[in-house]
Structure 1
Amino acid sequence: MRHGKIRNTGVDLTELGFGASALGNLYRTTPVEDALAAVDAAWAAGIRYFDTAPHYGLGLSEIRLGAALRSRPRSEYVISSKVGRLLVPNEHPRGTDPEGFVVRDDLRRQWDFSRDGVMRSMESTLERTGLDRLDIVYLHDPDDHWRQAAEEAMPALAALRDQGVIGAIGAGMNQAAMPARFLRETAADVVMLAGRYTLLDQSALDDVLPAAEEHGKSVVAVGAFNSGLLSHDQPAEGMKYDYEAAPAPMVARASAIAQVCAAHGTTLPAAAIAFPRTHPSIINVTLGMRSAAQVARNTALHGRPVPDGLWDDLRAQGLIRSDVPTAKGHGRSARCL
Structure 2
Amino acid sequence: MQSFKTRRLGKSGVPVSELGFGGAGLGELFTRVDEKTAAATLEAAWDVGIRYFDTAPFYGSGLSEIRTGRLLDNRPRGEFILSSKVGRWFFPPANPDAFQPSGWAGGLRFDHVHDYTYDGIMHAYEQSHMRLGMNRIDLLVIHDLDFWFHKTEKKVNAYLDQLFTSGWRALAELRAHGLVRGIGAGINELGMIPRFLDLVDLDFFLLALRYTLMEHETLAEELPACQRHDVGIVIGGVYSSGITATGPVPGAKYNYADATPDVMEKARSIEAVCRAHGVPLAAAALQFPLGHPSVASVIPGAIHPDHVRKTVENFNHAIPASLWSDLKAEGLIAKDAPTPA
TM (normalized to structure 1)?
Answer: 0.93
Q: Pick the aligned partner of 1:115 from 110, 118, 130.
A: 118
Q: Percent identity over the alignment? A: 39
Q: 1:162 to 1:104 in 2, by over 3 A?
A: closer
Q: Pick the aligned partner of 1:5 from 8, 18, 22.
A: 8
One-letter amino acid of the structure 1 residue matched with residue 136 of structure 2: R
2:88 is the counterpart of 1:81:
no
Residue matched to 1:128: 131
The 3-state SS of whatever aligns with 2:140 is strand
Deviation at 1:184, TM superposition (A): 4.3
Residue matched to 1:335: none
Residue matched to 2:267: 254
- The answer to whether the Cα contact below 8 Å between 1:138 and 1:172 also exists between their aligned partners in 2 is yes
Q: Pick the aligned partner of 1:267 from 280, 303, 307.
A: 280
Q: d(CA) in 2 for partners of 1:291 and 1:207?
A: 37
Q: 1:307 to 1:149 in 2, by over 3 A?
A: farther
2:214 is the counterpart of 1:200:
yes
Residue matched to 1:165: 179
Q: d(CA) in 2 for partners of 1:236 and 1:4?
A: 34
Task: Provide the aligned C-alpha RMSD in A.
Answer: 1.4
2:161 is the counterpart of 1:147:
yes
The 3-state SS of whatever aligns with 2:10 is coil
Structure 1 stretches lacking a partner, 5+ long: 333-337
Residue matched to 2:107: 103
Residue matched to 1:223: 237
- The answer to whether the Cα contact below 8 Å between 1:80 and 1:138 also exists between their aligned partners in 2 is yes
- The answer to whether the Cα contact below 8 Å between 2:101 and 2:107 also exists between their aligned partners in 1 is yes
Residue matched to 1:55: 58
Deviation at 1:217, TM superposition (A): 1.3
One-letter amino acid of the structure 2 residue matched with residue 239 of structure 1: A
The 3-state SS of whatever aligns with 2:84 is strand
- The answer to whether the Cα contact below 8 Å between 1:154 and 1:187 also exists between their aligned partners in 2 is no
Deviation at 1:161, TM superposition (A): 0.7
Structure 2 stretches lacking a partner, 5+ long: 147-155
- The answer to whether the Cα contact below 8 Å between 2:20 and 2:297 also exists between their aligned partners in 1 is yes
- The answer to whether the Cα contact below 8 Å between 1:222 and 1:285 also exists between their aligned partners in 2 is yes
Residue matched to 2:31: 28
TM (normalized to structure 2)?
Answer: 0.92
Q: 1:7 to 1:173 in 2, by over 3 A?
A: closer
Q: d(CA) in 2 for partners of 1:57 and 1:101?
A: 8
Q: Deviations over 1:202-234 (max 9, x none)?
A: 1211332111111111000011111111113x4
One-letter amino acid of the structure 1 residue matched with residue 169 of structure 2: P
- The answer to whether the Cα contact below 8 Å between 2:62 and 2:107 also exists between their aligned partners in 1 is no
Q: Pick the aligned partner of 2:17 from 14, 29, 40.
A: 14
2:315 is the counterpart of 1:302:
yes
Residue matched to 2:153: none
Residue matched to 1:288: 301
Deviation at 1:119, TM superposition (A): 0.5
Count of paired positions = 326
Deviation at 1:5, TM superposition (A): 1.1
- The answer to whether the Cα contact below 8 Å between 2:17 and 2:51 also exists between their aligned partners in 1 is yes
Q: Pick the aligned partner of 1:66 from 66, 69, 73.
A: 69
Q: 1:21 to 1:266 in 2, by over 3 A?
A: same
The 3-state SS of whatever aligns with 1:309 is helix
Deviation at 1:104, TM superposition (A): 4.6
Q: Deviations over 1:68-123 (max 9, x none)?
A: 11110001000000000111221134242122141353x11100000110101110
